[in-house]
Amino acid sequence: DQQVKQNSPSLSVQEGRISILNCDYTNSMFDYFLWYKKYPAEGPTFLISISSIKDKNEDGRFTVFLNKSAKHLSLHIVPSQPGDSAVYFCAAIEFGNEKLTFGTGTRLTIIP
């Protein structure tokens, strides 16, 4: 039972344009959501997070949007840069559960 889903395994975007990565979840008890970025042969690195009581969080070129009624999370990257090419994982946690649940990942390729 995949509680966190990333339905697009890959996405290609032109450099300078906006990249939008999507994530859907089924567990309404999730309290906190995160996005991680992963380069080949490296571990994931934390990118940005959002609490379930907010609908938007921004950090530089990265913005995460949360739509609780739709159980949908998205990551916007603008403008997209070649260094953004990586696999992006969304993740969610229910506080008190101590377990982070990851999506399956989306491979983002930025085309120069």
Partner 1 sequence: DAGITQSPRYKITETGRQVTLMCHQTWSHSYMFWYRQDLGHGLRLIYYSAAADITDKGEVPDGYVVSRSKTENFPLTLESATRSQTSVYFCASTVVGATLWDPDTQYFGPGTRLTVL
Q: Which residues contact partner 1 by CB under 8 A?
A: 4, 6, 32, 34, 41-46, 49, 89, 91, 93, 95-96, 98-105
For partner 1, the closer of residues 7 and 14 by Cβ is 7
For partner 1, the closer of residues 21 and 105 by Cβ is 105
For partner 1, the closer of residues 62 and 79 by Cβ is 62
Residue count of the chain, please give it.
Answer: 112
Closest CB 42 distance from partner 1, rounded Å = 6
* Residue 52 to residue 66: CA distance in whole angstroms: 8
Closest CB 61 distance from partner 1, rounded Å = 18
Hey, what are 77's tokens? 């990257």
Closest CB 24 distance from partner 1, rounded Å = 13
- List of E strands, the chain: 4-5, 10-14, 19-25, 32-38, 45-51, 56-59, 62-67, 72-77, 86-93, 100-102, 106-111
Closest CB 16 distance from partner 1, rounded Å = 29
* Residue 103 to residue 5: CA distance in whole angstroms: 5
For partner 1, the closer of residues 14 and 26 by Cβ is 26
